[in-house]
Chains A and B, each alone.
Chain A
């Protein structure tokens, strides 16, 4: 059994394929989380400030995406959105990149819906007094936002963003059903070709676990470092 596994992994090259799959999974999750964060923060500010129309639009988007399965969102993007992306980004028909970009957009759209809620909660958690104090010492709205509100909100948001990241890593597995050769897809192909589904899906599970555990540890360290710079106690 163990020699079989070794043959599968080394002689047939599946270890390398799985490693490549891991790299794509991490890259897609990073891209998706970054896209979600970059879009999510301004959206959260719109919600926080209750900007008419825009605030409601964000609420509808976030509520819709958080209310339907990620798989359904991914089917929508992959079946329906390819042409739009190709036209917008003009990728010159490079399908490997296009597949990846589609995955990042699909995952980013989902991740963003959750990031909005995290950032909004973080903004709301800022004590009114701190904002008022900043304005009282003569800071302009913009300066107060940049120097006081945004840093405070980001710090409050870190725990929530950790959750979003963990979820996003796991969501990348859904992209496998539409063909991006990430970890889950490599495992599924290997399972089919070698007729060893159990082995390869357990391997995939172990690799996902490694990714989530290691990133979890990194997040905790970042949280500690951030708290220190705030003179925090923890």
Chain B
């Protein structure tokens, strides 16, 4: 009895102090595992992609071992709240609303977003955001549940019907099947999509949508998410991240996976 009480108390104390860092040198990373080029889990459970590169680079800098936890994107933030992993690295956008639930490192990258529609859609040649948003009225738009761009469409085009998916691959499958009139996602996702034969009848609307279009929903770029109030871990991750941005590690990985450099300058 005394023993269990003891372990109980210690467990409590350690988790308060941020156990992952001090405890066993393992950094548990929550990631989607189902987003092409960002986070791809293979049959053996290994994760590759930009998110995995960022995670592995961080772990190397901090001299820790990365352990990936793969689960659907919309469950990542709620699970963080409940200690399934220590950090989220999953192309997670920094938003004011999420900041109430979790803390972030400095932003390290930002990918522009694009709408994709059928080539014969009247929106295909749209040139500005207002035209697109007006044209979406009464149309069906596919987005991934819980993402910043899902919120963006919900706010900016309230008269469009939102189809939300658990995974990017499901969203793309439905776009290719013609079940949605338009889909919004980031440029790396589209780069990947347009390599497939299914994309033949589709086109990207030529308008870069950046977080500046609406900070409230699109946020401030991607950061590493971590549990609230863990200042020690946050400080270590921040300085490691800044070093990785400055020495070009992040940029190299971005070029490798996306063919473009999405790095944000270290704003520390």
Contacts and interface: CB of A to CB of B under 8 A. Distances in A.
Instruction: State yes or no: do A and B touch (Cβ within 8 Å).
Output: yes
Interface residues of B, number: 38
B20 A93 contact: yes
Nearest to B10: A90
Q: For the complex, would chain A's binding face be called helix, strand, loop or mixed by DSSP majority?
A: helix
Interface stretch (A45-53, A177-185, A210-218): A177-185
20 contacts: A14-B43, A17-B44, A80-B82, A82-B82, A83-B83, A95-B69, A177-B166, A178-B72, A178-B75, A179-B72, A179-B75, A181-B45, A188-B167, A189-B33, A189-B34, A189-B41, A192-B34, A192-B170, A193-B42, A195-B198
Contacts of A78: 75, 79
Given A93-B23, A177-B72, A179-B72, 15 more contacts: A13-B42, A13-B43, A78-B79, A80-B82, A83-B82, A83-B83, A90-B8, A93-B28, A177-B166, A179-B71, A188-B167, A190-B43, A193-B42, A193-B169, A195-B196
A23 interface: no
B19 to A, nearest CB: 7
Q: For the complex, would chain B's binding face be called helix, strand, loop or mixed by DSSP majority?
A: mixed
Interface of A: 12-14, 16-17, 78-83, 86-87, 90, 92-93, 95-96, 98-99, 177-179, 181, 186, 188-193, 195, 197
Contacts of A92: 24
A204 B85 CA distance: 29
A195 B26 CA distance: 34
Nearest to B7: A90
Contact of B70 (A12, A17, A80, A179): A179
Nearest to A98: B84
